[in-house]
Structures are given as C-alpha cells and as structure tokens.
Amino acid sequence: MHISAQNRKYVLVWTALLFIGSANYGANAQKGVNPTEYTTNINTYPKNHIYLNLLGDASVFSLNYDRVWMVGDSKEAIQFLSTKIGLGYNVEFSVFSDYAETYTTIPHHLTYNIGGENSQFEFGLGGTFLFGHVSEYIVYPMMGLRLIPLKHPHFNFRLYGQLATVQGNQYKSGILFFPFGTSLGVSF
C-alpha cells in the first residue's frame, strides 16, 4: 500500500503524539496506589465489551465486540491490549448522484491501552473491510480515550480519532470517512 506524502506527515505527527502522551500518562498514572487494591482492580476489570460505534472506523455506525488482554502488572498503571471486530454500515457520498450506494463494513483494531482505573489512553492500528458496489480495505492509525468506570462496570465509553492512509487521498468506494468516532456500550 502506498501512503501519500501528506498522509506520511500526519502519521509521523500522530506517532510522536502517541509516544509523548503514553510516556507522560505512564509517568503520572496513579502514584501511591496500594498494591493489594491494584491487584483487585485488575482482577475485576471487565474483559469483554459490546458497543455501538458512531461515525468512526469508516462506518456511519457499527456494532462491535471488543476483548481486552491484560499485559501489565504495574502498581502505577493498568496496561492491556484490545482487539475488536464489528459489523457496520456506510454510504457512498456523491453530489452528482440521486442514488447513494450502501456498504457493509467490517471494522477491526488492535490497540495498546494504558491508564488508571477509570480511564485509559488508547493507541494502535485499525482497519475496515468495505463490501458493496466496490470492495475496499482502509487502514488507519488511531488514538483515543477509553472510559470504563469500575463503580459502574457495565458501562463503557470511547472517544477516538483516526487518520486514513489512502493513495491519492481518494477512496475507490467514495464512502464517508470521519476522522473521529464515539462508542457507547456495556462491559462484562
């Protein structure tokens, strides 16, 4: 896949922000936490999430399943990998057409998450398969904020941004691609 010069600049800026943000967040996360309390939080942290996604992941909306895999046992921060798969919908945008082509989307991602009990900084790589009049695969770096309050462990919320890397800044499908998204769902 060829990434345009303009998109390469965006990818470099996002990468720098990710490293700065994760280093800063990791250095300041939960100083002075009781080790027994932290272990309890890791053991009770919800591992499965189902949510409705609006506007992100090259979809107007999608229903997703997300699974987290704990990777850190630090007293200072919760660290985990997140994998997601979903099924969604998008539409072709054309000013000159009276008929809009619809697309089925299959968004997915792999992200690294670091943070405290209630919120985590998230960054990684996502992609979406598009099936419709034209089939296409879009890949994008992403970063965001994930909120899963332990006092209400059945609720989750995500707000994230992404940058599509596409040749010539055009999509074969002509779909609507939003550089941000939000998710709301349940955890168990």
Is 126 contained in some domain? yes
Among 21-35, 57-71, 122-136, the minimum mean pLDDT is found in 21-35
For the chain, percent of residues with pLDDT exceeding 70: 67
Q: How confident is the model at residue 119 (pLDDT cuts 50, 70, 90)?
A: confident
Write out pLDDT tens, residues 22-36.
Answer: 544 444 444 444 544
Structural domain of 159? 5-26+71-187
Is 75 contained in some domain? yes
Q: What's the pLDDT score for residue 182?
A: 96
Number of folded domains in the chain?
A: 1
Predicted TM-score (pTM) of the model is 0.75
Is 135 contained in some domain? yes
Q: What's the pLDDT score for residue 18?
A: 53
HEC string of the chain equals: CCCCHHHHHHHHHHHHHHHHHHHHHHHHCCCCCCHHHHHHHHHHCCCEEEEEEECCCCCCEEEEEEEEEECCCCCCCEEEEEEEEEEEEEEECCCCCCCCCEEEEEEEEEEEEEECCCEEEEEEEEEEEEECCCCEEEEEEEEEEEECCCCCCCCEEEEEEECCCCHHHCCCCCECCCCEEEEEEEEC
